[in-house]
Amino acid sequence: MTQARHTPASLPSSESELDRRSVRARTERMTTTALGDALYEVATERDERYLVDLDARRCSCPDHAFRDVRCKHLRRVAIEITEGRLAPPGRLPADCAVCGEELFVPEEAVDEPHYCEDHALEPGAFVRDRETGDRLLVVHVSDRRADHVGIGKSAYSVATYPTNRSYDPADRVVGAVYPQSVSMTDSGPAPDSLRVYSFPRSRLERLSEPA
């Protein structure tokens, strides 16, 4: 036996009201912005701005505050995240440093350069040097900034080296070789007898096919 339960007056009283809320959450014009820390700003058509805290499931709108319902702003934030248009909690939007495609990156790393799938480099990727047009093979992708890595015994860093000065000093350093005599092994390219050159990452343009 199930017992009938009283519905609190503050909750939507019918299925149809719930449906109307869902429709409004999906169709009304709202602009959502990820602020970090699971906080989102929602701007409505009438330029009202509300703060949604997804962790606490709270919204600053009167509907939420006084009626204790899951308002259309909270729903809209959840929909936009589910459909991939808004950064989930813990992430913020950032542009690919090469093509500008929007990516959702860990919020603590938002100020670092980011790269989309097409422009990420990994050992074994073939690249073109934008300065010389040479084709190279990537053997190492580091987390170190170009202005923090020295070149041999010279006074230059990768960032201050004359042909690298037009690139972002915060670029990560990539090690690459001229691949004429690289042999491929099961564990990837084997360039040990070759000299590895250090480049700021955006100086190297990924080639889609090994030429």
Q: HSE on the CB side for 45, CA within 13 Å?
A: 5
Nearer to Zn ion by Cβ, of 103 and 196: the residue is: 103
Query: Measured over all CA atoms, what is the biggest interatomic distance in the chain, rounded to whole angstroms?
Result: 84
Please state, in angstroms and rounded to a whole number, the distance separating the CA atoms of residues 146 and 199: 8
Strand, coil or helix: 80: helix
Nearer to Zn ion by Cβ, of 59 and 177: the residue is: 59
Contacting positions for Zn ion (CB under 5 A) = 50, 59, 61, 64, 71, 73, 96, 98-99, 101, 116, 119
CB of 36 to Zn ion, least distance (A): 19
Tokens representing residue 153 in the block: 């015994």
Nearer to Zn ion by Cβ, of 70 and 145: the residue is: 70
Nearer to Zn ion by Cβ, of 73 and 201: the residue is: 73
Strand ranges for 89-149 from DSSP E: 91-95, 102-106, 126-129, 135-145
CB of 9 to Zn ion, least distance (A): 20
Please state, in angstroms and rounded to a whole number, the distance separating the CA atoms of residues 101 and 94: 8
Nearer to Zn ion by Cβ, of 116 and 141: the residue is: 116
DSSP 54: T
Element (H, E) at 79: helix 72-82
CB of 98 to Zn ion, least distance (A): 4
CB of 110 to Zn ion, least distance (A): 16
CB of 56 to Zn ion, least distance (A): 13
Q: HSE on the CB side for 158, CA within 13 Å?
A: 23
CB of 70 to Zn ion, least distance (A): 9
Nearer to Zn ion by Cβ, of 81 and 177: the residue is: 81
Measured N-to-C along each axis, helices 15-27 and 72-82 cross at an angle, to the nearest 10 degrees, of: 60
